[in-house]
Amino acid sequence: MSGRIPRQFIDDLLVRVDIVDLIDSHVPLKKKGSEYSACCPFHNEKTPSFHVNRQKQVYLCRGCGQSGNAISFLMAFNRLDFVEAVEDLATFVGVDVPREQIHDADTVQKRDASGLYDILSNVAGFYVEQLHLPKARAAIDYLKKRGVSDDVIREFGLGFAPEAWDVLSNRFERSQLIEAGLVVTRDDGRVYDRFRGRLMFPIRDKRRRVVGFGGRVLDDTLPKYLNSPETPVFSKSQALYGLCELLERQSRPKQVLVVEGYMDVIALTQFGIGNAVATLGTATSKAQIDLLFRFASELVFCFDGDNAGRQAAWKAVEAALPALRDGRQVRIMLLAQGHDPDSLVRAEGAEAFQARINSAQVLSDYVFDTLSAQGGLVSAEGRARLLADAKPLLEKLPAGFFRDMMFERLHALAGLRLAVSTEKPGNLLGAPAQRARSDRLRPSLLRRVIALLIQYPHLAAMVDRQALPFEGMQLPGQTVLHEVLRTIALEKPENTAILLEACRASSHEKVLRTLAVMELNVPDGGEVEEFKGALAQLMKQARQESLTQLLAKEKHEGLDEGEKQMLRELLKKRAQ
């Protein structure tokens, strides 16, 4: 369905669900004290380190660090995006997901997307029926000639679009066909079927819903392949052919092979290589790469060895760089000219083709080999060009060990002795590195104050926000404290799970999730006194730090009028 999911519905959903019941339906839990535990579903272990807290409605694995609320669990466990997780959670609770109305330029509300899924599914079924009729003989002969078995035909739901201009219009509602991109509207208002006389490949999302089609001609007509246009449920830059079928065979594949054509996926599957997906006639996008990395830690991009294939490979590398966090890997596999995966696996067999996959070049080697070949490394000019070309690429990499090593390799190739040009991550609270004076403030105390607020949001009512700007003080992590207090004041969350949801996509989300499961060892009912004491001690330390700084500055540089006034106030408070 089109339209945003209302914020209030998500909050109400998190109140309605019991995270223990939800997770127990996926991973059997055992009660252990005040919590529930199990072996972690996100990494291999023999001793349970995965814990679920019913009071806070959050989970934590003390082994791998995974944590979050009910929505986060569904996203991680079932590899869903946010909207899909909310929809699944609503189904678990037994409620429908409402949507806020979205209006286009003509203020006409967009059609409910569920109707598009229905019409696409019905048309896919119709195409399957047509494949078994005598008029589809050419399509069947083509598949048999390519060695495609009946089992693979059924698995991928292959079909046939009859050679007729209005076969769909005579069977289905015209307005739905138009919105689903299945018919084309002429200037005079009349419509005709988009796909005619083609072998049909239904494109399904990972929830097995048909979102679009690809069609191949059976003669020399151009274009050879035709895809559905962009619709509310289909985008070529985000969909991947064969992903649905792959995930049904392997819910967590170790590796995914990315190819360019429908028949490449079909042929590889026929030969027992069942981990292939295909892009849809466009350059590999970051959205597609992000989607695949939700299921596998290694991607192998397979391209033809001609100039077009090499250009496609380089575009895939550029799209992959921002997604290459530590633990993820990309390989590049270029085929001999004149071959595509379909033809090559038929020519040399599955074993030899799998050996090619296993020996595919790692992304780091491919990047530096390609860039070095362009300018050479013998001359100073060539090394300078390498630096100029490589630096903007490497800056796309997220901070981490891989980025560090890539910059180190670049500097080694260019003959430079430079520090790695990466931005070092800040401390746990996301603050920038502070001077030695800041280390005298115990960051663990501030973490404890914030953790108490996250785990017991009602404590925020005790805080005088006007007293917390710490004017003139540079307290590591104080921006996180202010964000938590502001969010609680705006959202008024009933529990930790709702507060975390309100902070999803925040720059501090990872920190907040960590603090949400930080062990505080606070006795039942003792959180108020614990928080009052921690906050008072934090304020005292912050004032003392500022006092020390001002006294030192007065001695060496002198103070302006504002600083003198602050010094007087701090001295007065210390004397109280």
DSSP code, position 198:
E
Q: Report how far residue 205's alpha carbon sits from residue 323's, in angstroms, rounded to the nearest whole number.
A: 21
Domain final residue pick, 227, 259, 283 = 227
Compute the CA torsion angle 93, 115, 238, 309 (nearest 10 deg): 140
∠ at Cα 228 (227, 230), nearest 5°?
A: 120
pLDDT at position 100 is 74
447 & 563 share domain: yes
Domain boundary among 359, 385, 400: 359
Residue 17 lies in a domain: yes
CATH of residue 343's domain is 3.40.1360.10
Rounded to whole angstroms, the Cα distance separating 409 from 372 reads 12
Beta carbons within 10 angstroms of residue 557's beta carbon:
9
For the segment 15-40, what is each residue's pLDDT rounded down to a tens digit? 999 999 999 999 999 998 889 999 99
The model's pTM? 0.68
Number of separate domains in the chain: 5
Are 79 and 526 in contact by the 8 Å Cβ rule? The answer is: no
Average pLDDT for residues 47-65, to the nearest whole number? 93
Q: What CATH number is associated with residue 490?
A: 1.10.860.10
User: What's the chain's length in residues?
Assistant: 576
pLDDT at 444: 75
Both 254 and 384 in a single domain?
no
Amino acid present at 345: V
In this predicted model, which residue has the larger pLDDT, 127 or 424?
A: 127
Q: Please check whether residue 213 lies inside any domain of the structure.
A: yes
Is 373 found in the same domain as 354? no
User: Residues 438-461: what's their mean pLDDT?
Assistant: 78
Per-residue pLDDT of 478-498, as tens digits, reads: 788 888 999 999 889 999 999
User: Quick check: is 143 in a domain?
Assistant: yes
Q: Which residues contact 556 (CB under 8 A, 6 or more apart)?
A: none
Residue 2 resides in a domain: no
- Determine the Cα–Cα distance for residues 404 and 395; give it in Å rounded to an integer: 10
Q: What is the mean pLDDT of residues 409-429?
A: 57
56/512 Cα distance (integer angstroms) = 14
Contacts of 101 (CB under 8 A, 6+ apart): 3, 109
Domain match, 87 and 117 both = no
Statement to judge: residues 545 and 506 lie in one domain: yes
* 445 shares its domain with 348: no
Beta-carbon neighbour count of residue 480 at 10 Å?
Answer: 24
DSSP 393-434: HHTTSPSSHHHHHHHHHHHHHTT------------TT-PPP-
**Cβ-contact 372, 413 below 8 angstroms:** yes
First to last CA, the chain: 62
The letter for the amino acid at 29 is L
Q: Give the pLDDT confidence score for residue 575 in this predicted structure.
A: 64
pLDDT by residue (tens digit) across 189-219?
899 999 999 999 999 998 889 999 999 999 8
CATH number of the domain within which 171 lies: 3.90.980.10
Instruction: Name the β-bridge partners of 185.
Output: 191
Q: What was the pLDDT predicted at 166?
A: 93
- For residues 207 and 287, state if they share a domain: no
Q: Please write the tens of the pLDDT for every residue from 275-290.
A: 999 999 888 999 999 8
Report the share of the chain in percent with pLDDT over 70. Answer: 89
Domain check: are 322 and 408 in the same one? no
Q: What is the CA radius of gyration of the chain?
A: 29
55 Cβ contact partners less than 8 Å away, ≥ 6 residues apart: 34, 495
Q: Residue 22 is inside which H or E element, if any?
A: helix 19-24
DSSP code of 185? Answer: E
Is residue 419 situated within a structural domain?
no
Say how far apart CA 310 and CA 303 lie, in whole Å: 7
Structural domain containing residue 300: 243-359
pLDDT band at 422 (very low <50, low <70, confident <90, very high): very low
Q: What is the pLDDT of residues 542-567, one digit of tens each?
A: 777 778 877 887 778 887 877 788 77
Name which residue leads in pLDDT, 570 or 55: 55
Closest CA to 113 of 93, 97, 124, 125: 97
Q: What is the mean pLDDT of the chain?
A: 86
Q: In this structure, are 332 and 380 located in the same domain?
A: no
Task: Provide the pairing of β-strand 361-362 with 183-185.
Answer: unpaired
- pLDDT of 112: 56
Q: 81 and 122 share a domain?
A: no
Helix axes 82-93, 70-77, angle to 10 degrees: 110
CA distance 500 to 516: 8
Cα gap 45→64, rounded to integer Å: 10
User: Does position 436 have pLDDT exceeding 90, yes or no?
Assistant: no
For strand 183-185 and strand 35-38, is the pairing parallel, antiparallel, or unpaired? unpaired
3 burial type by CB count under 10 A (0-12 exposed, 13-18 middle, 19+ buried): middle
Give the containing element (helix H, strand E) for 145: helix 137-145
* Within a domain: 364: no
Residues 256 and 355 in one domain: yes
How far is residue 192 from each of residues 200, 224, 225, measured CA to CA in Å?
17, 19, 18
